[in-house]
Amino acid sequence: GPAPAPEPEPIPIPIRLAKSNYVGNHGNHWKLRNAEWADSDFRGNGLFGRNSSIRSTAILDGSSNTIALGERCMRNYAAIWAGTNSWQLCGFTDNQMVLGTAFYPINDAPAEHNIDCDGRGSANFSSFHAGGATFVFADGSVHFLANTIESGPNGVFHRLAQRNDGGQIGDF
């Protein structure tokens, strides 16, 4: 019989994705390896997590004390999600593309910091603004948080990132 027709050459199409300057707050801790992200039960203690949803009644610390979204510098993994739950880069899944964590201090990686595989610059909240980044809280209010905000375990930044830690938060 006749020979099969050759497969057509694919037409290269440049990838153009919409980027956002804001990512969802995952909480105050982070999974560092892809295998840990594969755990579908890992939902974080912020407002956004893998395969999860949070009701407003679960924000026990109060909506004015809980970060909903935070700024992400375009050079440091701008928020991009291409409609898949299995895309991997540097061994990570797409989670860190749309989620941020208080595990790392604000602007922990410099603005010139390109994609790497340690989570710094790709998982933290970051900004081109001098001295801090902009955050939207669960009550809809907007706050500029300074790089110098108390970070680390039990720090103000960690407490603001958690929806239900019960810790007292003063002025920030």
pLDDT tens per residue across span 102-121: 998 998 865 554 545 555 66
Judged by average pLDDT, the poorest of 7-11, 17-21, 150-154 is: 7-11
What is the secondary structure of 96-119 as a DSSP string? Answer: HHHEEETTS-TT-S-TT----SSS
Residue where the block lists tokens 């710094």: 120
Q: Above 90 in pLDDT, residue 17?
A: no
Give the best-scoring range by mean pLDDT among 6-20, 79-93, 155-169: 155-169
Query: Which of 21-35, 91-105, 141-155 is least confident?
Result: 91-105
Instruction: Give pLDDT, residue 42.
Output: 64
CA separation, residue 104 to residues 65, 121, 147, 149 (Å): 19, 9, 11, 12
What is the reported pLDDT for 87? 44
The answer to whether position 1 is within a domain reads: no
Structure tokens at 58: 């679960």
Are 75 and 112 in contact, with CB atoms under 8 Å apart?
Answer: yes
Range of the domain at 26: 17-172
The count of structural domains within the chain is: 1
Amino acid 9: pLDDT: 65
Q: Which of 17-21, 62-66, 152-156 has the highest mean pLDDT?
A: 62-66
Backbone dihedral angles phi then psi of residue 136, each to the nearest 5 degrees = -105, 130
Whether 10 shows a pLDDT value over 70: the answer reads no
Q: What angle is formed at CA 38 by the lines to CA 34 and CA 43, rounded to 5 degrees?
A: 110
From start to end of the chain, where are the E strands? Answer: 22-27, 67-71, 99-101, 132-137, 142-146
Which one has a higher pLDDT value, 18 or 35? 18
74 vs 46, higher pLDDT: 46
Is 8 contained in some domain?
no
State the chain's mean pLDDT as an integer: 77
Q: Given a cut of 80, is residue 82 above it in pLDDT? A: no
